Amino acid sequence: MTLSQSASKPRISSIDIVRGIVMVIMALDHTRDFFHHDSLQMEPTDLTRTYPALFFTRLITHWCAPTFVMLAGTSIYISSQRKSKRDLSLFLLSRGAWLILVEVVVIRFGILFNFYYDFIIFQVIWAIGASMIVMAALIFLGDNILIILAVLLLFGRNLLDGITLTPADAGFWPWLFFYQNGFAEGPAGASILVPYPVLPWLSIMLGGYVLGMLYRSSVASNDRQRYLLIAGATAIVLFIVLRYSNVYGDPAPWSVQKNAMFTLMSFLKCTKYPASLLYTLMTLGPILILLAVLEKIQTTALQPFAVFGRVPLFYYVLHFYLIHGLAIVCYMITTHKTWSDIDFHAGKAFGGINSDDGGYSLGVTYLVWLGVVLALYPLCRAYNRYKSTHTQWWLSYL
């Protein structure tokens, strides 16, 4: 395990690199949202309309959110080794509340560029914040209890799939945010979308917390790598067996399609909203193996990913604003429209930038994605340098 020192705390390079890799991939998905001409016309995993290049462009980004959330849980456990339970709990409460505020104000604006609040979306940052608030209480339980709880939530949460409430039902709103994702009409006619209900992501964060136990100083590097490889391989095997059986773990079964490629796509098309057990096994199994492999590799070629991985929220917020801003500029250039011609109300295709008269091919989308990542790197490197040499309290929140 390679550590790099900062003014505030040691860093684990393999974790930073893995986090940075998935963050770079994440930007591809959001670039596709704003630039690809079909992004709002069809779901890229809809097997009746998609094609392999588009399907797998979307599929690889499925690894991002669970990795991000799992490693947040791992970081919580690592922090528990140098902070008292009380101090850590207070930090998680404040950090969690801050992330929820960032989601509904800063990130929402980056996605929609309006303050109408006719549409509010609760995405992964909300889920992380809410899960941290719950973790503020859970960390007072013993490690053995948390291990059992993590297993129960990870493997048992799909037992709740059959519980579906409507807005007319008592308890609809708590259930919407707790497990049942979807749209609903909120106060003053605002549309509310909750694609990331808390329970599935809390279970992943709790699993990451348990994973953090492998990063105690008492665990030898070779032992940790072996445990990570075993856990990753076991998760992949479990995914294949459970997915093939179509018995449990995902509400959407796979089926034989028109050819082998589309049958494979059906097999890999697991439910993300809300995150199912099979989705979790499929994504995190390879990530655990990657964590083991990267702990052995010492190369400067991966350091750019580590830079991104050390400033995740900074990167996350900036990339939305950059992608959306570029999309609007390109849209105005290609359509000869002005800023005042764009309707920024919700439901207007993110301002119309990829509606019927806008949008680009998948190849162009990839080029824009690479440009976005390259543009973000010097900003993230500068902020990481500042964060590594300063100890102001607010640095822990950005």
Per-residue pLDDT tens, the chain, 398 aa: give them.
444 444 445 578 999 999 999 999 999 999 999 999 888 788 999 999 999 999 999 999 999 999 999 999 999 999 999 999 999 999 999 999 999 999 999 999 998 888 888 888 999 999 999 999 999 999 999 999 999 999 999 999 999 999 999 988 999 999 999 999 988 887 777 889 999 999 999 999 999 999 999 999 999 999 999 999 999 999 999 999 999 999 999 999 999 999 999 999 999 999 999 999 999 999 999 999 999 999 988 788 899 999 999 999 999 999 999 999 998 888 888 888 888 888 787 656 565 565 555 688 999 999 999 999 999 999 999 999 999 888 888 888 88
Phi, psi of 165 (to 5 degrees): -110, 155
Q: Tell me, what DSSP letter sits at residue 184? A: E
pTM of the model: 0.93
Residue 347 pLDDT: 59
Residue with tokens 């009746």, as numbered in its chain: 48
- CA–CA separation, 291 and 314 (whole Å): 23
Residues, the chain, total? Answer: 398
Domain around 100: 3-397
User: Hey, what amino acid is at 19?
Assistant: R
Residue 70 neighbours by CB under 8 Å, 6+ apart = 204, 205, 207, 208, 211, 284, 287
- The CA distances from residue 109 to 10, 26, 64, 202, in Å, are 34, 18, 22, 25
In 3-state terms the chain splits into helix, strand, coil percentages (rounded to 5) of 70, 5, 25
Phi-psi label, residue 336: left if phi above 0, alpha if psi -120 to 50, beta otherwise:
left
Total domain count for the chain? 1
